[in-house]
Copies of this chain bind each other. A is one copy, B any other.
């Protein structure tokens, strides 16, 4: 992995243009990494690929780079959303970081009937996503949406986007009722193996699972694909990472790396 520092910036990236650092970026580069005038930095903005830049001015809590040369073209990313019920603070942070590493384009915190945590600081999560994108060599950062109710989101769903509904309760409800076959969701790999390429979203429930109302509503939707994540009970953050990984491996951009 290249050790040249990598920053997500808001400005357009044009050869020769000066680029003003925020105080946080300046602090990170000059105090934490001890970067000096003339040193190399890489920058990306989600629109113009990745560029080599050089530090041209170091100030107390500011600074400038000069943008020099494009080193990677902007790549198309999977159109993959993550919908998840917010968790306690560090676990929500964790989901956002890992979803960024796993190439999600939009992160949507959604409230469900059993969601415990209702307050979501979107600006904070957006920052975590930007930092994770810098680390993971992505050319964009996922957009973190404002929190909304799951049913509200489903009400305005674009039906061309498939909703992969991770139905963790499926197994337990079955086991409890002694019914070994009814409404058993397909395993995720089987359910998604033959899908045509297209926009998708993955939905992970809160720790307490979805209510019967929510499950019935979800299962009645034409664009919804209920899937099982195996025989063990996964914590919500594990389920999110696992489902995103399996999606990318089977339908997403892990495949493209070997097929380009």
Residues of A within 8 A of B (CB): 1-2, 75, 98, 101-103, 135-138, 169, 171-172, 176, 184-190, 208-209, 228-235, 238, 241-243, 245-246, 248-250, 252-259
Contacts and interface: CB of A to CB of B under 8 A. Distances in A.
B232 A136 contact: yes
Contacts of A190: 255, 258
Contacts of A246: 245-246, 249
B171 A234 contact: no
Given A102-B238, A102-B242, A248-B230, A257 B187 contact: yes
Contacts of A1: 169, 172, 208-209, 233
A238 B188 contact: no
A169 B2 CA distance: 11
B187 A235 contact: no
Contacts of A258: 184-187, 190, 228
B209 A229 contact: no
Given A101-B232, A231-B257, 13 more contacts: A1-B208, A1-B209, A98-B238, A103-B230, A184-B257, A187-B249, A187-B255, A187-B258, A189-B254, A228-B258, A229-B254, A230-B252, A245-B246
Given A1-B172, A249-B187, A256 B231 contact: yes
